[in-house]
Structure 1
Amino acid sequence: MKKINFTIKNSTFTSVLLGFTLLLQMACTDFLEVAPPSKIDQDLLIVDSISAETALTGIYSILNAGEVNGEGNAATFRRNMLYILNGGSDEAVPNSNQVLYQPYLTYTYNDTDIMGREAWLFFYAGIKRANFFLEKIEGVTFQSEVRKTQLIAEARFLRGVYYQYLAWLYGGVPITMSIDGNGTENLSRASLQKVYTQIEKDLRFAYQNLPSQNPKSGRADKWSAAGYLSKMYLYLASAKENNIDRYHTTAINKLDWVEHDLFYQKGYEINSAIIGQKELVEEYVHLFRAETNQNTYGEVLFGVEATNNQDVVMIYVNGFIPQGNINTNGGGYGIVRPSMELINQYNEKDVRFANNVTGSINNQSLKENFFGVEYFVPQAINQEKTNISVGKWRQPVPGSYPLEPWASPCNFQLIRYADILLMQAEYEVKVNANETVARTYLREVRERAALGDDQLTNELTLVYRKYDMMEEIRDERSRELCYEGWRKLDLIRWGIIEETMEGLSLEGSRYQPQMELLKNNFATHKIWLPIPASELILNNKLIQNSGY
């Protein structure tokens, strides 16, 4: 039987008990449309506190799973979600005809595309595991009821997060508390109101019952739940305020139930509670290099863990490292290129620019030593910008890690404190109409971009200043958070995605003309992915999103 590995760094669980292996196999059986290979007494799977801890690890594993019971291929944050969430934004120029990636880079996806179906499959597998865990743990006796409650809170946090990504991607989806099948058989899609009500319940429970710091690195704590709550409130409040309902006609995805002033206030209260609980790491680049994973937990509220175990890795190589040869110099395939829209946001003295936008790599490039690991240094961007690359993450000289050259042990940060500071600036504008206070949060983020130099911070503040404070915040979010999966969701909730696609430039670099694909293929109903055709066939109660 195949060993199952999990994503939690510093955990002693690198493989699991036979019983839980069978549980994971059962978790997604109905997705595969085959009968379970065997039947077991599920009551035996979580029988004590030790097996409960192991089962919880399996819920986390969805974040970075390579497959679910033999199906799928890196469908969540190991790889595919980076393209689903970053593609179709004004940051990412498409540079690939590959059938897996192109639909999500160019707004040509349909209900049979692989990544959309597998995202649905994986997130519901995580929900199913959480439901099973929450049902079975009730019968387990713990020496500490506090610890039992914390485990329940972690499972509810993960369930809430998985539903949240489903809602961001598809709109209203079936809500299931079932532990049988895939959990969505014969269920209709719930309205967004009902889905977000469930998300809020789960995340609120986690916020109230998790400790301020989880003793296990990479596990959720109180501030992880607070971060996703804040994201939820801000998304809904701004989406309602900016009337994104005009983009589609799918009734269950309407936001008429959202009181945007109330949601802004709720989000402001949660986000304000986070302020001061975390801190920015000293150097921006440390967030995106494997050697400094351990240095990032002070800033990261929640992220996806990677290790030197080949089964627990991230895959940035296709689009999010400098272009080159992965087998000889640690360069990637370059299927995503930085846009002129992003490049033009930066002052070149901003350290984030040199990290996020680079030239390519070749075997003649210089090398640098980063915490004892060698990297080829990307070349300077040439005048014609024919070699521009996304440089957010880096792959070391091949052989530096006991991994395949394409695999990275660098964590992927989902929510970090810089994002919280930028959201706080937005909340200050929306709740208090206080641009002066909002700018203090922008300045805190920019100070790191200026390496703590007050004079350069002042210079960046002057260069980046906009008459429209919300425009300035939008630009700063792109400079700080590019390629971390938030830009397209931001453009949607701000109600500017249509005008942003229409306004994309087609000149300035070798790759920029390919933005015409986004301009031509974008349609407003595509703020939602289509419900996968395979799910519509299995369940005739599901309805398709409008426009597909």
Structure 2
Amino acid sequence: MKRQFLTSKYIIVAAVVAGGLFFDACSKSFLEREPQGSLTSGTVSTKAGINELLIGAYAALDGQQQDVAAIGGGGPWEAAPSNWIYGSVAAGDAHKGSDATDQPPISLIATGQFDASNGFFNTKWKVLFDGISRVNVILSLLPDVTDMTDAEKTQVQAEGRFLRGHYYFELKKMFNKVPWVDETHIDDYKQPNNVDIWPNIEADFKYAYDNLPALQAQVGRANKWAAAAYLAKTYVYQKKWTDAKPVFDLIKEQGTTPKGTKYALTDRFEDNFDSETKNNSESVFAIQMSANNGTGQISSGNQGEMLNFPYNSPFGCCGFYQPTQDLVNSYRTDAAGLPYLDDYNTFPVKNDMKILSSAPFTPDAGNLDPRLDWTVGRRGIPFLDWGNHPGRSWVRDQDYAGPYAPKKNVYWQYNQDKYKDPNSWAPGSAINLVLIRYADVLLMAAETEAELGNLEAAQTYVNQVRTRAANPKTAVYRYTNDSNPMGGFSTTPAAKYVVANYPAGRFAAGGKDFALKAIRFERKLELAMEGQRYFDIVRWGIANAEMTKFYSYESKITTDLNGAKFIPNRNEYYPVPQRQIDLSLKSGERTLEQNQGY
């Protein structure tokens, strides 16, 4: 059953979902009608029915629910599980892209000027609570199922609680004040959001860790070690370092993929963003994407990224999610192959701003980390096998959003017949969305060790990640023939790639502050454009400093950041959507409170 588990989407859940959290109100009389063709609890309270419901709970991971508009939302990008808007654009990894008139709510998020009326937040909230509701329906029905063993019920409960833990983790890191709605609240889902839900999220992941098998029959299902990684990440977000360390130690010593192979970094960095090499040894937990699978769905591919392809290019749409110059400069390395942790913008990487594609341009000749060229499409460098990036002609408005293009979400030309999803007006692909990969785990383990004062162990973890970056297999190489990019690659690197490990004793000599600075910068390099950075800088307590520095530098390059400002004690969390507060009336009182500063 190759990947069929998660590509059989939207099967049954829409008929039984209780409506997420508050969604949009309907009249009581309407809700009390028995619609024709509806499913009763007896229909699904069987082993087969529960399994179909579980598939539906997994299907909600992609944030699309077949069409976000079906639950009163907007475009698929508003709820993209990659968090490319909320975790990367908001943090300075990327500009919104396109032009000033396109998707203006993203501009407000990019410039720190968002408020509770921004419909994007409402879409994200509803989609995540829809996933939670799907799980709660399963857990509420499970006790009445008679054709399942206790062990089978335990596994379903563990998988369901893993998924609920994921959905709540996403809500908590975005909105902070989040109500806890579980299977006991099926008939009373208007719960207050004035209690910290981290303990509940921990409990879900702990139950999943204790009860899930290490090996799953189907690759898309969560296993014991995916739950362990999420549990450890939950501890990290709460700064529970002594709780996190033993979990990371176990993952390092015993952790395995759902296929049963030992977790390890892939030799090639790019293998984490390629349909041909997905579900590899670095994939801890991933949303399974597919294309051309014969299901007849509108789209099975990664539609959350549908805007994020170069403009006026073979992809057809749409010019969003353009990496920033600040991010590109971060990949500059010194003579020893190490990053400039503080003054990287002092050594900017050459770009082709205001240079026509028909005019000559020579790319930067200085030392660079090769992860740059698997993360960012830049002029004169091979853009997978689509040819050298031509620069300005593939950019909608350079003055507005800069000269670069995203790359981690782009499929290859040679096998697009298998992995491109052409079923919508903008591209989709079968590239998995990896929610946690092993490099992320290693860097969180490094952070944990540094916080506990174990600086040598922290450096060892960081150097594992840097060793892969220095591997020649991670370099981008020039084409054998530029006029035939699908004809293969030469042995000549596309740029001057120089990367090295931190020398022995460097973290110890620099102390805890230096170690943490190096670890945090490594996360920026390794996980760039993966929707992580905003949540990282917030939990580190450096969001104001980092965003102020970024806005000051980047706003001199592009026009899209005019008026941008980070507001302390407000922008650390996104606002609880005003629509949800308005819908939360219970006995004439609102059950939801707003975050501070809004």
Instruction: Map 1:82-231 to 2 at 5 A.
Output: 82-95=84-97, 96-97=99-100, 98-142=103-147, 144-178=149-183, 184-185=189-190, 187-192=191-196, 195-231=197-233
CA distance in 2: counterparts of 1:286 and 1:451, whole angstroms: 13
CA distance in 2: counterparts of 1:418 and 1:447, whole angstroms: 11
Counterparts in 2 of 1:121 and 1:495: CA distance versus 1, 3 Å: same
Q: Is the 8 Å Cα contact of residues 80 and 115 (structure 1) preserved in structure 2?
A: no
Matched, 1:436 2:456: yes
Matched, 1:31 2:1: no
Letter of the 2:409 counterpart: W
Matched, 1:315 2:303: yes
Question: What TM-score comes out, normalization by structure 2 length?
Answer: 0.74
Q: Is the 8 Å Cα contact of residues 59 and 130 (structure 1) preserved in structure 2?
A: yes
Instruction: Map 1:414-453 to 2 at 5 A.
Output: 414-431=435-452, 433-451=453-471
> Secondary structure of the equivalent of 2:434?
strand
Q: Is the 8 Å Cα contact of residues 90 and 342 (structure 1) preserved in structure 2?
A: no
Deviations 1:351-382 (A, max 9, x none): 21111122269xxx97865xxxxx34434799
Deviations 1:21-59 (A, max 9, x none): 4214x4349523233474456322422211111100111
Matched, 1:406 2:389: no
Matched, 1:298 2:319: no
Q: Is the 8 Å Cα contact of residues 300 and 421 (structure 2) preserved in structure 1?
A: no
> Secondary structure of the equivalent of 1:415?
strand
CA distance in 1: counterparts of 2:6 and 2:87, whole angstroms: 32
Deviations 1:217-255 (A, max 9, x none): 121111111111111111111xxxxxxxxxxxxxxxxxx
Counterparts in 2 of 1:168 and 1:505: CA distance versus 1, 3 Å: closer
Q: Is the 8 Å Cα contact of residues 505 and 512 (structure 1) preserved in structure 2?
A: no
Q: Work out which of the residue numbers 327, 331, 334 in structure 1 matches 2:320.
A: 334
Letter of the 2:288 counterpart: E
Letter of the 1:429 counterpart: A
Q: Is the 8 Å Cα contact of residues 339 and 512 (structure 1) preserved in structure 2?
A: no
> Secondary structure of the equivalent of 1:413?
strand
CA distance in 1: counterparts of 2:117 and 2:226, whole angstroms: 34
CA distance in 1: counterparts of 2:431 and 2:548, whole angstroms: 35
1:71 maps to what in 2?
72
1:391 maps to what in 2?
407
- 1:299 deviation in Å? 1.2
Letter of the 1:23 counterpart: V
> Secondary structure of the equivalent of 2:408?
coil
**What runs of 5+ residues in structure 1 fail to find an aligned partner?**
1-7, 238-262, 370-374
- 1:204 deviation in Å? 0.4
CA distance in 1: counterparts of 2:289 and 2:238, whole angstroms: 31
CA distance in 2: counterparts of 1:93 and 1:16, whole angstroms: 33
Counterparts in 2 of 1:176 and 1:343: CA distance versus 1, 3 Å: same
Q: Is the 8 Å Cα contact of residues 25 and 583 (structure 2) preserved in structure 1?
A: no
- 1:475 deviation in Å? 0.7
Matched, 1:357 2:376: yes
CA distance in 2: counterparts of 1:472 and 1:306, whole angstroms: 33
Counterparts in 2 of 1:155 and 1:79: CA distance versus 1, 3 Å: closer
- 1:159 deviation in Å? 0.9
Q: Is the 8 Å Cα contact of residues 77 and 306 (structure 2) preserved in structure 1?
A: no
CA distance in 2: counterparts of 1:17 and 1:391, whole angstroms: 32
Q: Which has the larger radius of gyration?
A: 2
Q: May I ask how many residue pairs the two structures share in their alignment?
A: 495
Letter of the 1:264 counterpart: W
**What runs of 5+ residues in structure 2 fail to find an aligned partner?**
256-262, 334-366, 394-398, 475-496, 585-589
Deviations 1:316-374 (A, max 9, x none): 656654x3325x3567413433232452344344321111122269xxx97865xxxxx
- 1:77 deviation in Å? 5.6
Q: Is the 8 Å Cα contact of residues 314 and 409 (structure 1) preserved in structure 2?
A: yes
Q: Is the 8 Å Cα contact of residues 28 and 182 (structure 1) preserved in structure 2?
A: no
1:22 maps to what in 2?
15
Counterparts in 2 of 1:402 and 1:458: CA distance versus 1, 3 Å: closer
Q: Work out which of the residue numbers 271, 296, 315 in structure 1 matches 2:248.
A: 271
Matched, 1:378 2:356: no
Question: What TM-score comes out, normalization by structure 1 length?
Answer: 0.81
Deviations 1:372-429 (A, max 9, x none): xxx34434799x9952223222144476635245212211111110011111111111
2:56 maps to what in 1?
58
1:459 maps to what in 2?
500
Counterparts in 2 of 1:436 and 1:15: CA distance versus 1, 3 Å: closer
Q: Is the 8 Å Cα contact of residues 156 and 203 (structure 1) preserved in structure 2?
A: yes
Q: Work out which of the residue numbers 301, 312, 324 in structure 2 matches 1:325.
A: 312
Letter of the 2:408 counterpart: K
Q: Is the 8 Å Cα contact of residues 16 and 54 (structure 1) preserved in structure 2?
A: no
Counterparts in 2 of 1:311 and 1:325: CA distance versus 1, 3 Å: same
CA distance in 2: counterparts of 1:458 and 1:336, whole angstroms: 25
Matched, 1:547 2:566: no
- 1:113 deviation in Å? 1.0
Letter of the 2:467 counterpart: E
CA distance in 2: counterparts of 1:226 and 1:107, whole angstroms: 34
1:11 maps to what in 2?
5
CA distance in 1: counterparts of 2:591 and 2:382, whole angstroms: 59
CA distance in 2: counterparts of 1:316 and 1:161, whole angstroms: 18
Letter of the 1:486 counterpart: Q
CA distance in 2: counterparts of 1:415 and 1:116, whole angstroms: 23
Letter of the 1:311 counterpart: S
Aligned alpha-carbon RMSD (Å): 3.4
Q: Is the 8 Å Cα contact of residues 175 and 190 (structure 1) preserved in structure 2?
A: no
CA distance in 2: counterparts of 1:402 and 1:41, whole angstroms: 32
Letter of the 1:114 counterpart: G
CA distance in 1: counterparts of 2:429 and 2:62, whole angstroms: 12
